[in-house]
């Protein structure tokens, strides 16, 4: 029987003043035991090394994470927040109440080092995020020495007992390597805790949403069989040299999939059927090795909805809810705020097939916030397909490769390095010694496959301004131009439309919401198939995962790997003779190539082209020269942000013993220098209906259904945070449910052809590095 003196974990959202309806801390079904059991199960799946140790530690972490809630101060705050309509979960962030330091402090006294710190970091951070170990401001050491309300007299002794456990041997040839690996294990434990805590809270506060979560293990054998049937029905009768090559790629993937988990490479020229072949590998490999999910990560400059739509088409007839089977997770849709409502809406990747970006994947692996780290334990034991892996930024190369190696060697993952050119991130003696160990090649003779699938020439067109390029596009009935910035795309589109009229001209960029882009791509494909005039101006988002076939393509100077991707949109089916992809230099006075990643790639390509040594600009020797300049000779930039610097990960002799700079590293590890924020555009009736649901949730204070959050991704555009804040101050966007920014007047700020335009020249300053 519950009384007013029973220690509680949460008030009931529908019965805030009826304590008999509140969630208990203790006992069967109590919050602590629910979190402990769930975290223990997650750790058992996540940790393949020292398998018996980590689940015990995770269960202990679950039982101790809310010890501070036993205090009279917290119980009083809980009652006060219930009557005032407050949110006790925000108290940690706003400084009103601290219930997490108590558990961290207890871990430090109850366990020997460094086990104590392994628990103290996740417990102290399970609301506000993982802290730095030592710092002048907020840090773990400050939390460990902080005076907290007395909680011990209300907590049962048996709850506080620590089992006799010893830290297993942590892999690592050096003390620095051991520290890095321990830090990653701490972040993985943190993920187990926060996801378990979120799910337990959801089960109590939002049982309807909890009931919608998948409970059955997916049958990857059935998915594999379904994909095989689909491929036979769709492509079984295809003929010609390209179709034959694609069939051989698929057969090679299915054969290699029966191998053991590890590191694989899939080198297939664009147009070689890599998207579905790699999916076939992943599904069969998961089925053969008992792996838990497939994560398909594509370059951050691409549009993931195209891959997601391809996969939905494949499994449309499969006996499963497609929204539960396939998760499309865009970047920049994770909240910074830490309220109960937003915690419950964050993604935890519990779908069998996750389609996301490199930004979302890698930034999560080095994150410290709960909403970003929640999914990490589900990455363990997965098949990870890295499409166009050579697009990883040079300045974060060392930490990216280090964590990939860790996932394969210690967390049971298989990683597939997909590329259209050649592997660029594998170990090379004296040239690229941070590279990954030699991967198992899925394609036995990649050079031979390249020769068979060669169906386009790449030529240098010199310098062209917008007017000149528009004239060159008009020489062909069907043509594609790919440029580096949204501003260049918009200006070129205007110039082209002025010369040719609007009917046959199309624009594609990341300034358009995904649903709008998908509709526009459908129209483009129909016109191409019908042989109608079709001239398209796009940013590089069209280069990966978008199946279009033009007789001629124009590509603004970029990396040779990007030029190869552009060439893959030219003569894709190999039915034309003499197809050409032209590489041109934009007029720097009009549209300079943006500084940073794109400029570095373009400069390396320009150096290779200037040698005059290479007849085939996409030949393997040409590409090797390019990567030597772009990747292998840039040692000083491989870890430009100091992510792997031992100062961030070191083992100490004084509390907290493990000195890890989680918050500092998370702030520094950014694929894109400028933070991005999403704006939701009520572009059509469906989008307006979704926004109306948000308004209703805002008014009622109810929880945000995750299916609503997922659907809203398809109507969002990401912008630089400073422009987002300017728009908020100007009343151009309205903030709902603490995070979701709604475009207030789409008819004014969303162009039917060019997408989002917040002012006369929106988002188009190339110095902003807003690309795609």
What pLDDT is attached to residue 762? 41
The predicted-structure confidence for 61-120, as pLDDT tens digits, reads as follows 999 999 999 999 998 888 887 666 555 444 443 446 789 999 999 999 999 999 999 999
Q: How far apart are CA 518 and CA 714, in angstroms?
A: 10
- Report the relative pairing of strands 534-539 and 478-483 from DSSP bridges: parallel
Q: Give start and end residues of each alpha helix (H) in 85-174.
A: 91-94, 101-110, 115-125, 140-144, 157-160
Looking at the chain, which residues constitute the CATH 1.10.3210 domain(s)? Answer: 8-210
Q: Please check the confidence at residue 770 and state whether its pLDDT lies above 50.
A: no
The predicted-structure confidence for 329-360, as pLDDT tens digits, reads as follows 875 555 555 455 445 556 789 889 999 989 89
| Residue 134 DSSP code | S
Mind giving me the DSSP string for 27-81?
STT-HHHHHHHHHHHHHHHH--TTTTHHHHHHHHHHHHTTGGGGSHHHHHHHHHH
What pLDDT is attached to residue 346? 62
Q: Give start and end residues of each alpha helix (H) in 557-652.
A: 560-567, 597-610, 620-627
Residue 187: which of 658, 662, 645 has the closest Cα? 662
The predicted-structure confidence for 194-227, as pLDDT tens digits, reads as follows 999 999 998 898 888 778 777 667 899 999 999 9
Alpha carbon 557 to its chain centroid, in Å, reads 27
Fold (topology level) of 455-617 = Rossmann fold (3.40.50)
Architecture category of domain 8-210 in CATH: Orthogonal Bundle (1.10)
Rounded to 10 degrees, the C-alpha dihedral 547/548/552/556 comes to: -60
Looking at the chain, which residues constitute the CATH 3.40.50.300 domain(s)? Answer: 220-438, 455-617
What pLDDT is attached to residue 222? 96
What pLDDT is attached to residue 765? 36
What pLDDT is attached to residue 584? 95
Q: How far apart are CA 183 and CA 167, in angstroms?
A: 14
For the chain, the 3-state helix, strand and coil shares in percent, each to the nearest 5, are 50, 15, 40
The predicted-structure confidence for 250-276, as pLDDT tens digits, reads as follows 999 999 999 999 999 999 988 888 999
Q: Which CATH class is domain 220-438?
A: alpha beta
Residue 389: which of 415, 364, 365 has the closest Cα? 415
The predicted-structure confidence for 633-663, as pLDDT tens digits, reads as follows 888 999 999 999 999 999 988 888 899 999 9
Quickly state the pLDDT bin for 404 (edges 50, 70, 90).
very high
- Count CB neighbours of 215 within 10 A: 7
Q: How far is CA 137 from CA 11, 98, 133, 337, 592, in A?
A: 32, 16, 11, 20, 41
């Amino acid at each position: 029987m519950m009384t007013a003196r029973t220690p509680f974990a949460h008030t009931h959202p529908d019965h805030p003043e009826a304590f008999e309806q509140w969630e208990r801390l203790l006992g069967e079904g109590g919050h602590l035991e629910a979190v402990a059991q769930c975290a223990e199960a997650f750790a058992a799946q996540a940790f393949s090394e020292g398998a018996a140790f980590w689940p015990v530690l995770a269960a202990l972490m679950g039982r101790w994470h809310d010890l501070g809630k036993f205090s009279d101060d917290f119980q009083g705050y809980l009652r006060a927040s219930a009557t005032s309509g407050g949110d006790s979960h925000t108290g940690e962030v706003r400084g009103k109440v601290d219930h997490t330091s108590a558990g961290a402090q207890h871990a430090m006294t109850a366990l020997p080092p460094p086990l104590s710190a392994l628990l103290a970091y996740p417990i102290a951070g399970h609301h506000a995020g993982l802290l730095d170990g030592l710092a002048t401001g907020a840090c773990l050491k400050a939390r460990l020495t902080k005076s907290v309300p007395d909680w011990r007299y209300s907590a049962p002794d048996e709850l506080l007992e620590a089992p006799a456990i010893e830290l297993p041997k942590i892999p690592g040839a050096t003390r620095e390597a051991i520290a890095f690996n321990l830090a990653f294990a701490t972040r993985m434990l943190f993920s187990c805790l926060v996801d378990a805590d979120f799910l337990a809270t959801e089960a109590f506060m939002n049982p309807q949403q909890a009931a919608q979560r998948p409970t059955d293990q997916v049958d990857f054998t059935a998915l594999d069989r379904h994909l095989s049937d689909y491929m036979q029905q769709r492509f079984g009768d295809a003929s010609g040299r390209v179709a034959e090559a694609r069939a051989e790629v698929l057969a090679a993937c299915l054969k290699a999939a029966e191998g053991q988990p590890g590191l694989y490479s899939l080198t297939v020229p664009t147009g070689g059927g890599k998207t579905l072949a790699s999916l076939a590998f992943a599904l069969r490999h998961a089925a053969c090795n008992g792996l838990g999910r497939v994560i398909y990560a594509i370059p951050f400059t691409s549009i993931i909805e195209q891959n997601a739509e391809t996969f939905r088409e494949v499994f449309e007839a499969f006996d499963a809810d497609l929204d539960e089977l396939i998760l499309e997770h865009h970047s920049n849709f994770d909240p910074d705020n830490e309220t109960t409502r937003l915690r419950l809406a964050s993604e935890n990747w519990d779908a069998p097939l996750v389609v996301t970006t490199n930004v979302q994947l890698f930034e999560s692996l080095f994150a410290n916030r709960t909403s970003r780290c929640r999914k990490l334990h589900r990455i363990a034991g997965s098949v990870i397909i890295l499409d166009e892996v050579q697009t990883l930024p040079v300045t974060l190369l060392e930490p990216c490769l280090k964590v990939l190696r860790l996932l394969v060697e210690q967390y049971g993952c298989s990683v597939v390095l997909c590329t259209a050119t050649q592997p660029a991130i594998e170990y090379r003696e004296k040239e690229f010694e941070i590279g990954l160990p030699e991967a198992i090649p899925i394609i036995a003779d990649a050079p031979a496959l390249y020769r068979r699938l060669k169906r386009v020439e790449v030529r240098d067109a010199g310098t062209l301004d917008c007017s000149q390029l528009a004239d060159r596009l008009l020489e062909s009935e069907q043509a594609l131009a790919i440029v580096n910035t949204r501003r260049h795309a918009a200006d070129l589109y205007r110039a082209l439309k002025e010369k040719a009229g609007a009917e046959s001209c199309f624009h594609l960029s990341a300034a358009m919401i995904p649903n709008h882009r998908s509709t526009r791509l459908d129209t483009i494909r129909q016109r191409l198939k019908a042989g109608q005039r079709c001239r398209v101006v796009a940013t590089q988002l069209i280069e990966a995962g978008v199946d279009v076939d033009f007789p001629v393509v124009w590509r603004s100077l970029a990396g040779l790997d990007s030029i190869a991707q552009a060439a893959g949109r030219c003569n894709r089916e190999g039915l034309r003779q003499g197809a050409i992809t032209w590489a041109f230099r934009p007029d720097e006075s009009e549209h300079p190539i943006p500084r940073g990643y794109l400029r570095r790639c373009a400069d390396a390509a320009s150096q290779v082209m200037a040698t005059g040594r290479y007849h085939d600009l996409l030949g393997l020797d040409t590409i090797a020269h390019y990567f030597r300049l772009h990747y292998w000779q840039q040692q000083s930039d491989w870890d430009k942000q100091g992510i792997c610097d031992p100062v961030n990960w070191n083992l100490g002799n004084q509390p907290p013993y493990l000195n890890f700079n989680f918050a500092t590293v998370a702030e520094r590890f950014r694929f894109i220098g400028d933070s991005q924020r999403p704006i939701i555009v009520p572009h059509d009736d469906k989008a307006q209906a979704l926004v109306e649901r948000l308004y209703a949730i805002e008014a009622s204070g109810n929880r945000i259904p995750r299916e609503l959050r997922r659907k809203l991704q398809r109507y969002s555009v990401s912008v630089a945070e400073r422009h987002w804040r300017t728009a908020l101050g100007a009343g151009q966007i309205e903030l709902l449910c603490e995070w979701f920014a709604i475009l207030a007047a789409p008819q004014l700020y969303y162009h039917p052809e060019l997408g989002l335009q917040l002012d006369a020249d929106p988002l188009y300053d190339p110095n902003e590095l807003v690309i795609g």
